[in-house]
Structure 1
Amino acid sequence: MNIRATQMRVNMQSLGPMRPRALPIIAGRLFHGSIVYRRNNASLSSLDKAQTLTEKIVQRYSLGLPKDKVVKSGDFVTLSPHKCMTHDNSWPVASKFMSIGATKVNDPSQIVFTLDHDVQNKSETNLKKYQQIETFAEQQGIRFFGAGKGIGHQLMIEEGYAWPGTVTVASDSHSNMYGGVGCLGTPVVRTDAASIWATGRTWWQVPPVAKCHFTGVLPVGVTGKDVIVALCGLFNSDEVLNHAIEFTGSEETMRSLPVDDRLAIANMTTEWGALSGLFPIDSVLLSWLRYKATTAAMYESGTGSKDRFSHAVIENLTTSPIRADRGATYAKSLFLDLSTLSPYVSGPNSVKVATPLRDLESQKINIQKAYLVSCTNSRASDLAAAAKVFTEAAKTGTSPKVAPNVELYIAAASLAEQHTAEEAGDWGILLAAGAKPLPSGCGPCIGLGTGLLEAGEVGISASNRNFKGRMGSPDAKAYLASPEVVAASALSGYISGPGFYEAPEGVTKVILGEGTGNVEADKATSIEEALAKVISEADLLVDNAQSSLFGEAEAPKEAEDAGLTEIVAGFPDKVRGEIVFCDADNLNTDAIYPGKYTYQDGVSLEKMAEVCMENYDKEFGSVIREGDILVSGFNFGCGSSREQAATAILASKIPLVVSGSFGNIFSRNSINNALLGLEVPRLVEGLRKEFSGKDKALTRRTGWTFEWDVRRSEITVQEGEGGAKWTQAVGQMPPNVQEIIARGGLEKWVKAEIGL
């Protein structure tokens, strides 16, 4: 678990009747990444009661709140989500569910199973796992979508499970996608999912909320994919790390972003570092919902979607609209002028590198593989856009065929989307061009099945993640782009566009920055925030005066006792080891534990240790020793929700990870699996300064030692033999979190608490 210095109050109710007391929640330095936002805990003024859209939705789905409690960023809540989706990881979640002694899912209607990740795998082992998941779903009365039906996130959207104004979670990092339809989608990890199955609820900390304000309108030839690729690459200094994002804009601006574009943008807010990406419930969304309701009534799918997509239910969204309050406080505000945007390409091998397409076209970067796949951009509209590239090429005399030495793979986001593309003729156009069809599922995006990148190859994909080694060999290069650019690149044989975009007159650069892009509005916001701060300080002054007049309820502890932490039985009072340094920011979960192993159940601890960091440094396992302290850069553990990123490090017999900051999902997995973590930016900066001139080593034994004195809440670093020695205070380790670690993780803690 990751300890932060900021103290937080915890308001949690018991997670259900099977627990004799509340689930322990961190109360010290939290798993919250590099940016922490917390309001003063003074009395709430009327201004401070204003809520963001995120806070309002969370308020609706929080249980056991004190009377008149207004949910704010930083609060801990007991969250009962509208829906919870699991996919190929459903059986590992079921194993956790059963191991804690649960036998019956609390509310089967809350749970959705979708098989989508490894659907090409016809091995006996995988088919057996799929059958186990289906049987469990039948026994528990859970809605089940089998292999080939579609990618889970797309199914959650098209079946109406991810509904506007609700909190809907999934044990997958791209749950953010639900924000495209005004649903607060956010990821949970496997242990959280098991808790939701058993009790209907789990714990959650409301993140700091960032506003991303759009101005202008998208030019012809620019897509939602270009928007999010540009945001990831141009705001690439962790501006929204571990934040909830709310996208805003004028009615005209938002009309230029259809729902499919919003889904693509929200989907990749994960890669931007955010925990959610929420669009407003506006006229564009309502029109889309009404169309879905009409088609659901005309063509009942047998899944009950007409009950979810009904005009009566949609009418409730208009009669009782939910939107952010005027005066709501945001942790930060960013803006992007859509009118100044051109097609962008991400990579290679990083979403933090975004380049205008025109700059790459001139380089004629040859490709060997192209992909129209994933929940990000393989809906019918995306396939239509790709097909148009080939039909337009034919009109100019160009052969509408995939270039020699290029393989183009296509897989629709769902079977329903494929049928729509087939009826429109777009699927047939792509097949005639030479595209190779794959079943609807994640496939190449997660590095599973046919068509993976081989060593030395270059690929371009309409998917969401181009981390090194994710789509195949770590010695390949992967780029991300819109479906149009992927299709045009497959046609030409090198990274290129279809030529649909023409720069508006006078546009020479992308206009973006902090604030809203409106000087007067930003000035007014600054005045409002300053007023709120003055009122808050006045409230605090009154509270302090009352304390002085009427006395404290309890005398403060003596200074010598105040800094000491009581150690729970079984928890170490000190953690000490030699520092091994992996000098990399954004060291992601694919680098820590490759996707090709993620859905192999029953992998031994020895094997997990062997492949740990395989996509980052193949020599990692031969460099480390038992008891080492792993130190890395900022945003460590970003990426997917796979818990093996934490358990593989533990399997390598590393008890503690120190970084500049952590990705939120990794942090959550760490506490649930008993891996310790500390954020010490000073140490990272010191190591970089010391070893920057040395030979480059991906994993370096430093000779430095690190000691964490848990009782005294301080660390001591010895900078090698004869080097400097320094100490630094860190936040206290709460006793309830010590309990989880001492018992070997949350699953074992719950099992012990219910007496099994």
Structure 2
Amino acid sequence: MYGGIGCVGTPIVRTDAAALWATGKTWWQVPRMINVQLKGRLPHGVTGKDVIVALCGYFNNDQVLNGAIEFSGDGIAALSVDDRLTIANMTTEWGALAGVFPVDDVTLEWYERALKRLEFRTFANPAVSSAIPPPPEHPRINRARLDALRVANLRSDPDATYASHLVLDLSTLVPHVSGPNSVKVSNPLPLLESKRIPIQKAYLLSCTNARASDISAAAAVMRGRKIAGGVEFYVAAASSEVQLDAEKRGDWETLVLAGAKTLPAGCGPCIGLGVGLLEEGQTGISATNRNYKGRMGHPQAQAYLASPAVVAASAIKGYIASPDSLSQSSLPPSGVPTFSLVNPAQDKAAEPVSAAADEPVLDGFPATFSGPLLFAPQDNLNTDALYPGKYTYQDDITLARQAEVVMENYDPSFAALVATLRTQHSQPDSPPTSGVKSGVVLVSGYNFGTGSSREQAATALKAVGVPLVIAGSFGDIFKRNAINNGLVCIESPELVADLTREYAKDGKRGAGGSEGELTVNRGHSVDVCVVEGRVEVRWPTGETKTYKVGRVGASVQELWICGGLEGYVLKSIKEAEV
């Protein structure tokens, strides 16, 4: 990876951060590389937000899951840095770990302007600046780093290979809207506008689209207009500095005069905190990055995502709508844009690759996880569904309380169901000495645990009595948090396919079970022999079926034995002191 505009690295949450402070070390699995080629030029009125919303919606079958995305193509040159930042920011919602744009003239000119602004603020008043020492050099935006980037000309090797190659023709794209309640669903704006979907709340805030250019775009739509009756429009700049810039240009005042309700710079409603949250039955449209069920308020509300201009236009008109300045005649046809997938990665249903036959089994790690099986027939089951955002920042919440609210936004009856099964099967709270760990095994679909970095999504499942989760695939952030907290994750596309065919409504994941339940409980039991790479499922008919799965490696076993990363770090510190 190279230093362009993007989101590069790995999520660091509380346990990871504590381990870094204690040891100076962390771990990261190197992801597969994916090339996303952007061709052509965006039509007038189409933005970077529309690009990433469309990508999330049209490539929504794990094509980029847990990969590192390198953006390329002639379409990049015409994208502003703010557009690139929005696209890179939301590669996480798309399912990727990183999204990087190349270092080009647009990038370098942006850094040059940013550097000059810093220098101007430092030396704007020579009389004062000569009397005090200059401030410390900015760690990221400084002359030495910019000069080094100009000389290095960092880029991928000409013969670089990728796991897959995605192509999107920007010239065929119209504004798009994501939702409701999923970034994996997107529709052309003209289609939704024709339905006149009423809204009660609109939001222009968060790290994704609350920069000065975003506020300016919304102000251009709202200038001289008023927010529709019955609609609340909330605005929070990405930072206090951004708000100051917007105030100087008059854009902030324009929004306030239109009736916007201002909030302090920060996340706020985006993560379900503070005022302005969606209430039961309400519909909102937001320029934020995520619209998972229950994230921005009540789980029985609906949230859509769109560009700042579309959010502002919707607030004015009272329904999901396009700005008046957006000429339909200047846009391409509002059907599906031109896109393709070249050299796709191996089919996700292919047999998983097992670890080496001599994978060690560490003392203290159970050879088998055993217990009743529950099936959540849902893909993209996100962290807001697993652990509602309203509990995330309650620092005094106990594991017992986490167990009570787990899966609340997906199936409010889940915790009680697990407790009943544990009672019926006399599930102990600790692994027996026989090498078998008892508990309720949860099976779900693809991209399980997508979403935010809250590790309570993993600890809550473990606390309720689920020691192991089987899925078609996992979001990498969730899987990392699971490993760090001693929750075992196994991928078995074949088992997911069998359960889907037998018990999901209409044989498809996404609408609950065939009997209307959200969590399917039909009396299955399971033995997961994790170090042998085998899952044995006993079906209600009496049949036992065996599935091959990947084995659990020694490093994950060691973390589990220590109770997670925290215990491992404490052990390492004590060993170092001896």
Normalising by the smaller structure, the TM-score range is 0.7 to 0.9
Contact residue 188 and residue 665 of structure 1 kept, 8 A: no
**SS of residue paired to 1:299:** helix
Evaluate the alpha carbon distance shift between residue 290 and residue 711 of structure 1 in structure 2; reply closer, same or farther with a 3 A threshold.
closer
Distance in 1, Cα, partners of 2:17 & 2:154: 27
Deviation of residue 739 (structure 1)?
A: 2.0
SS in 1 for 2:122: coil
Alpha-carbon offset, residue 741 of structure 1: 0.7
1:602 Cα deviation after fit: 2.1
Report the residue type matching 1:670 in the other structure.
A
Tell me which amino acid in the other structure corresponds to 1:723. Answer: G
| Aligned partners of 1:563 and 1:713 also within 8 Å | no
Distance 1:307 1:585, change over 3 A: closer
Shift of 1:182: 5.0
| CA 196–300 in structure 1, closer or farther in 2 if over 3 Å, else same | farther
Is 1:622 the counterpart of 2:416? The answer is yes
Q: Return the offset for 1:508.
A: 5.8
Which structure 2 residues correspond to residues 166-205 of structure 1 after superposition, within 5 A?
Answer: 181=5, 184-205=8-29
Contact 1:371/1:486 (8 A) holds in 2: yes
Residue 263 of structure 1: CA displacement?
0.8
Q: Say whether residues 1:210 and 2:61 are aligned partners.
A: no
CA drift of 1:203 comes to: 1.7
Alpha-carbon distance change, 636 to 183 in structure 1, aligned in 2, over 3 angstroms:
closer
**Which residue of 2 is the match for residue 581 of structure 1?**
375
Write out per-residue CA displacement over residues 231-266 of structure 1, whole angstroms, 9 at most, x where no aligned residue. Answer: 11111111101110011122xx32321111111111
Distance 1:310 1:713 in 2: 51
Measured after TM superposition, the shift of residue 746 of structure 1 is 1.4
1:295 pairs with one of 108, 113, 117? 117
| Secondary structure at 2:167 match in 1 | strand
- How does 1:680-695 map onto structure 2 within 5 Å? 680-692=492-504, 694-695=514-515
Does the CA contact (< 8 Å) of 1:189 and 1:665 recur in 2? no
- The Cα offsets for residues 671-697 of structure 1, whole Å up to 9 and x where unpaired, read as 110011111111111111111353121
Q: What residue number does 1:430 align with?
A: 255
| Residue 345 in structure 1 maps to residue 177 in structure 2 | yes
CA contact (8 A) 2:202 2:234 kept: yes
Q: TM-score, normalised on structure 2?
A: 0.87
Cα contact 2:227–2:315 (8 A) shared by 1: yes
Amino acid at match of 1:198: A
User: Does the 8 Å CA contact 1:578/1:704 hold for their aligned counterparts?
Assistant: yes
**Could you tell me how far apart the structure 1 residues matched to 2:357 and 2:151 are?**
53
CA distance in 2, matches of 1:335, 1:193: 37
Identity over aligned residues, as a percent? 53
Q: Deviations over 1:159-188 (max 9, x none)?
A: xxxxxx2xxxxxxxxxxxxx6x25634423
Indicate the residue corresponding to 2:143 in structure 1: 311
The answer to whether residue 363 in structure 2 is matched with residue 512 in structure 1 is no
Q: Which of the residues 527, 530, 548 maps onto 1:729?
A: 548
Assess if the C-alpha contact under 8 Å between 1:300 and 1:306 holds in 2.
no
Q: Can you list the C-alpha shifts for 1:501-543, whole angstroms capped at 9, x where unaligned?
A: 335476564111124xxxxxx9xxx9xx9xxxxxxxxxxxxxx
- Tell me whether 1:746 sits opposite 2:565 in the alignment: yes
Alpha carbons of structure 1 residues 325 and 213: separation in structure 2 relative to 1, 3 Å? same
Deviation at residue 564 of structure 1 after TM alignment: 6.6
Q: How many Å apart are 1:306 and its aligned residue?
A: 4.9
* Residue 254 of structure 1, aligned match among 52, 57, 76: 76
Task: Determine the C-alpha separation between the residues in 1 that align with 2:7 and 2:398.
Answer: 38
Amino acid at match of 1:260: D
Deviation string, structure 1 residues 677-729 (Cα, Å, up to 9, x no partner): 11111111111111135312111212111101245432211111x33212133
TM-score w.r.t. structure 1 length?
A: 0.67
The match for 1:663 among 468, 472, 475 is 475
- Per-residue displacement from partner, 1:572-606 (whole Å, max 9, x unpaired)? 12211111111111000010011111111121111
Q: Matched residues in 1 for 2:361 and 2:67: separation? A: 32
Aligned residues of 1:232 and 1:352 also touching (Cα < 8 A): yes
For 1:281, the equivalent position in structure 2 comes to: 103
> Which amino acid is the alignment partner of residue 122 of structure 2?
E
Mapping of 1:587-666 within 5 angstroms? 587-624=381-418, 625-626=421-422, 627-666=439-478
Q: What is the alpha-carbon distance in structure 2 between the residues aligned to residue 278 and residue 474 of structure 1?
A: 33
Q: Does the aligned pair in 2 maintain the 1:445–1:470 contact within 8 Å?
A: yes
Deviation at 1:567, TM superposition (A): 3.2
C-alpha distance in structure 2 between counterparts of 1:506 and 1:606, whole Å: 54
* C-alpha distance in structure 2 between counterparts of 1:274 and 1:615, whole Å: 24
Change (3 A) 1:436 1:578: same
Q: Any gaps of 5 or more consecutive residues in structure 2?
A: 124-133, 346-355, 423-438, 506-513
- Cα distance in 1 for residues equivalent to 2:295 and 2:267: 12
What's 1:421 paired with?
Answer: 246
Are residue 470 (structure 1) and residue 295 (structure 2) matched? Answer: yes
Alpha-carbon distance in structure 2 between the residues aligned to 1:754 and 1:199: 8
Residues 580/368 of structure 1: CA separation in 2 closer, same or farther (3 Å cut)? same
Distance in 2 separating the partners of 1:505 and 1:697: 43
SS in 2 for 1:376: coil
The answer to whether the Cα contact below 8 Å between 2:174 and 2:332 also exists between their aligned partners in 1 is no
C-alpha distance in structure 1 between counterparts of 2:274 and 2:12, whole Å? 26
Aligned residue number for residue 387 of structure 1: 219
Q: Look up the match of 2:525.
A: 705
The 3 A distance-change label for structure 1 pair 480 and 710 is closer
Q: Which runs of 5+ in 1 are unaligned?
A: 1-53, 58-164, 166-178, 395-399, 516-521, 530-561
CA distance in 1, matches of 2:482, 2:63: 23
Structure 2 residue aligned with 1:444: 269
Amino acid paired to 2:535 = I
Q: Is the 8 A contact 2:174 2:331 kept in 1?
A: no
Deviation (angstroms), 1:753: 2.6
Query: Aligned-pair distance for 1:735?
Result: 3.1
Find the partner of 2:278 among 448, 453, 458. 453
Give the match for residue 231 of structure 1: 55
